[in-house]
Amino acid sequence: MDPATIRTRFAPSPTGYLHVGGLRTAVYAYALAKHGRGQFIVRIEDTDQKREVPGAKDKLYDILKTFGLNWDELYVQSERVGSGIYEKAAKKLLDEGHAFYCFCKPLTKDEIKENRKSKIQFRDPCHNLSKEQVEKKLAAGEKPAIRLKVPDGEFISYIDFVLRKKTSWKTDVVDDAMLLKSDGFPTYHLAVVVDDHDMKITHVLRGHDWLPSTPIHLLVYQYLGFEVPQIGHLTDIQDPSGGKLSKRKGNVAVEQFIANGFLPEAILNFVILLGWAPKDNREMFTLSEFVEHFDANGFQKSNPLFNTQKLLWFNGQYLRQKSDRELLELLRPHLKTKADDPLLLQIIPLAKSRIATLAEFEPLTRFFWQRPAPQEQISTTKEYLADALAILSKVGWNKEAIEADLVNSANSKGWNRGGYFMALRLAIAGSRISPPLTESMLILGKEEVI
């Protein structure tokens, strides 16, 4: 296939926030297309309108733009229903005996779960209704859904371009999936096939949880006479505590990571390596660099682990690449303080190497504008502080003089220098962790310190 013809799509449903796994799918689909100078399509799959969350579509658009995933074409499934393309496809399947009218009451979620547990295919009671029975029900005004008529005793297979293996199913274990609901709206199983064909999608990238639906889609492609695109299923992202990453185990929303002080470029870099590996040991990638180095053979077959410490490491790397002025602008949404810019611009260089997220800045540096609460001190600490106070009251107010006099005093008395300076840090910053102590004292000023 000519690389220039590659067309990929990211097809989220507006049913809530964008999961980090969804972002990963979008990033990989974008890179696959753009590496081959192809097109990246965004398609909002909103045919399940009962589950749609107001405003979710716009949030999806905003997040994709935030990460630089600019699309070449944008579609909304519900806006295409009126064109009749899904109904036309369903009618073709009906006319050719590959689908049937279903008059049954829709299954409840619990019933669907039980069917899945049994690992036995779902054969709808209407699967073998006679023509006369169907006509009688239609004449009585019953509004049917349309289901795929899956044959028994056949095999269907495909080669997964991510997992790099052939997978086969016997049709006996494939459900009579619903294709068109009684209200005329298509289900995912019909719409995804019709849309991918209509939009000339050449490569489908999606999560591993869609693998069980693949035989249904392959049958629909076959019965509609459509060319099957290359299909790849990404491995599941694993939670550090075990099992698949999910909202039940904590935060997985992209927008929440941003709200918590993670930079988009750090999240992007982290996500790139959640299931893909470069040919060398390189770790740092911008989006354009990822597109340039992208190779589908880099997809990993094993499930990646969501390592929060690695995400924090990436974020720290990107924070330290920012200029002080850039970092100040990024910090503003996370600051409650009224401290002025000149003061903040003095503090930022001291704190930059000691924070992993934007949200960590204010707790670390609050003592610059808010005195820490007095702490109960043991006798040794009181002795250290009394000594330091005497020295700081007389010393010349510069870094070299302050450090030299404090060190000399602690040494002359045989004190532990670590304990001596920790007592001073706790008194000034109110915490064992703070920006460099001497530089912090210089910013605070002699009068405030003593």
What is the set of active-site residues?
Answer: 247
Q: Which two tokens stand for residue 156?
A: 């269907």
Q: Token pair for residue 269?
A: 């870099």
Please calculate the CA angle 82-213-129 and round it to the nearest 5 degrees. 70
- Which one-letter amino acid corresponds to residue 148? L
Inter-residue contact 168 to 114 (CB < 8 Å)? no
Instruction: Give CA–CA dist 190/87, Å, rounded.
Output: 10
Strand 145-148, strand 178-180: pairing: antiparallel
DSSP 43: E
Q: How many CB atoms lie within 10 A of CB 433?
A: 10
Residue 388 CA to residue 244 CA, distance in Å, equals 54
Distance CA 164, CA 310 (A): 28
Which residues partner with 253 through β-bridges? 19
Answer whether 324's CB lies under 8 Å from 345's CB. yes
Contacts of 71 (CB under 8 A, 6+ apart): 10, 40, 41, 42, 64
Provide the 3-class DSSP secondary structure of residue 415: coil
Q: How many CB atoms lie within 10 A of CB 219?
A: 24
Please give the sequence-ordered ranges of beta strands (E in DSSP) within 247-291, or none if there are none.
none
How far is residue 118 from each of residues 122, 173, 210, 417, measured CA to CA in Å? 10, 11, 19, 68
Instruction: Give the relative orientation of helices 399-412 and 417-429 as an angle to the nearest 10 degrees.
Output: 130
Position 266: which residue type? A
Supply the DSSP string of 163-223, one letter for each residue: TTEEEEEEGGGS---EEE-TTSPBPHHHHHHHHHHHTT--EEEEEGGGGGGHHHHHHHHHH
Q: Are 15 and 247 in contact (CB under 8 A)?
A: no
